[in-house]
Amino acid sequence: MTSTRGLEGVVATESSISSIIDDTLTYVGYDIDDLAENASFEEVVYLLWHKRLPKEDELAELKQQLSDNMALPQEILNHFKTYPIDKVHPMSALRSAVSLLGLYDDLSEDMSDEANYQKAINLQAKIATIVTAFSRVRKGLEPVEPRADLGYAANFLYMLSGKEPEDIEVEAFDKALVLHADHELNASTFTARVCVATLSDMYSGVTAAIGALKGPLHGGANEQVMKMLSEIGSEENAEAYIEEKLANKEKIMGFGHRVYRKGDPRAKHLREMSRQLTKLRGEEKWYNMSIRVEAAFTAQKPLPPNVDFYSASVYHSLGIDHDLFTPIFAVSRVSGWIAHILEQYANNRLIRPRADYVGPGMQKYVPINER
């Protein structure tokens, strides 16, 4: 038996949800460029879960279901207040709260299609409220109730700040959600599928996926990008900073990808959004700095920016706290995780690969007093 480090190039399942072929990303056959320009996040959620775009009444129904299910059980809000709030990363809070959500859903262990769909709605709706409510509770603020007249992206921004967001903010945030919704068999999606392939429940699958997304080699990179930009501080420091990091053999967050070679198709949308939003805020330095970091890095390494690089300055321009960047990734990606969980259930087989054993040969047990 031979192993492939990091399972590179291994095809682990069939899927009809999203594909990456020749550096083109599609959701159910629709090019991400097309969806980013034209679709709302709710349409994408419907597309991923039903494998087709919704008609008007179907979209309206989904929006209604999401807004009807956004409010959190009081137990979860109370639970936030028991966390060591100044030490807890919001991704850890999210991971714990999603797990807890399963305790307060009577359908948790019901594996029927109807129950799984209801859980899907519950998770997609409540994840936005968990992230925003936690963000407020840790600042000593009361959570803001969702508004039935606002769409998903607008509700998220409203529940976060308590103020009705501007149209341009909603548009940008909605597009960011569309761009992050699914991505073939990425690490967190694979984690979700491995978990539920044991016929474990959807809350377990999503909790496991959040744990995988949290790491800086995956979704955690967007927060690290903002940390890097803050450290660089001003545009003229970009080149020297990158040079020093590369000389020390350090990775630069937001660059490189296991699958893309020419470039991540999502990055150009986020680059343009970063340009527009930083200009609107009079904070062009974050965009200019990002451009110089990209030029300095790619001059030395042929690794283009990934989805996380420009999303950092986009979220920063929306006034979002830096440690909420990765939870926001989860708010979008849960739609993809759920689609994959449902696909796994529909045609399940336990996922159980082998390991190439490289440890010592057969040994004889030695009693403890003779070692």
306 binds ligand ACO (CB under 6 A): yes
Binder among 107, 178, 185, 307 for ligand ACO (CB under 6 A): 307
CB of 194 or CB of 307, closer to ligand ACO: 307
Token pair listed for 249? 């053999």
CB of 51 or CB of 218, closer to ligand ACO: 218
Q: Would you say 309 and 16 are in contact if contact means Cβ atoms under 8 Å apart?
A: no
Q: Which stretch binds ligand ACO (CB under 6 A): 169-177, 233-241, 303-311, 357-365?
A: 303-311
CB of 165 or CB of 254, closer to ligand ACO: 254
Binder among 102, 143, 205, 256 for ligand ACO (CB under 6 A): 256
CB of 168 to ligand ACO, least distance (A): 25
Q: Which stretch binds ligand ACO (CB under 6 A): 19-27, 58-66, 189-197, 302-310?
A: 302-310
> Is position 113 annotated as part of the catalytic site?
no
Helix (H), strand (E), coil (C) string for the chain: CCCCHHHCCCCCCCCCCEEEECCEEEECCEEHHHHHHHCCHHHHHHHHHHCCCCCHHHHHHHHHHHHHCCCCCHHHHHHHCCCCCCCCCHHHHHHHHHHHHHHCCCCCCCCCHHHHHHHHHHHHHHHHHHHHHHHHHCCCCCCCCCCCCCCHHHHHHHHHHCCCCCHHHHHHHHHHHHHHCCECECHHHHHHHHHHCCCCCHHHHHHHHHHHHCCCCCCCHHHHHHHHHHHHCCHHHHHHHHHHHHHCCCCCCCECCCCCCCCCCCHHHHHHHHHHHHHHCCCHHHHHHHHHHHHHHHHHCCCCECHHHHHHHHHHHCCCCHHHHHHHHHHHHHHHHHHHHHHHHHCCCCCCCCCCCCCCCCCCCCCHHHC
Binder among 93, 150, 192, 253 for ligand ACO (CB under 6 A): 253
How far apart are the C-alpha atoms of 207 and 183, rounded to whole Å? 18
221 binds ligand ACO (CB under 6 A): yes
> Is position 167 annotated as part of the catalytic site?
no
Which listed residue (201, 308, 316, 340) is catalytic? 308
228 binds ligand ACO (CB under 6 A): no
CB of 154 or CB of 238, closer to ligand ACO: 238
217 binds ligand ACO (CB under 6 A): yes
Q: Would you say 75 and 130 are in contact if contact means Cβ atoms under 8 Å apart?
A: no
Q: Which stretch binds ligand ACO (CB under 6 A): 10-18, 46-54, 154-162, 300-308?
A: 300-308
327 binds ligand ACO (CB under 6 A): no
Which listed residue (257, 269, 316, 340) is catalytic? 257
218 binds ligand ACO (CB under 6 A): yes
Closest CA to 341 of 161, 115, 127, 149: 115
251 binds ligand ACO (CB under 6 A): yes
Per-residue string for binding with ligand ACO, 141-180, x by CB under 6 A? ----------------------------------------
227 binds ligand ACO (CB under 6 A): no
# residues near ligand ACO by CB under 6 A: 19
Binder among 54, 254, 304, 336 for ligand ACO (CB under 6 A): 254
Burial 70-94 (b: 16+ CB within 10 A, else e): bebeeebbebbeebeeeebebbebb
CB of 297 to ligand ACO, least distance (A): 7
CB of 227 to ligand ACO, least distance (A): 12
CB of 181 to ligand ACO, least distance (A): 12
Token pair listed for 127? 């994840």
Binding stretches for ligand ACO (CB under 6 A): 6, 186, 217-219, 221, 251-258, 301, 303, 306-308
- Give the residue numbers annotated as catalytic, written as ranges: 257, 308
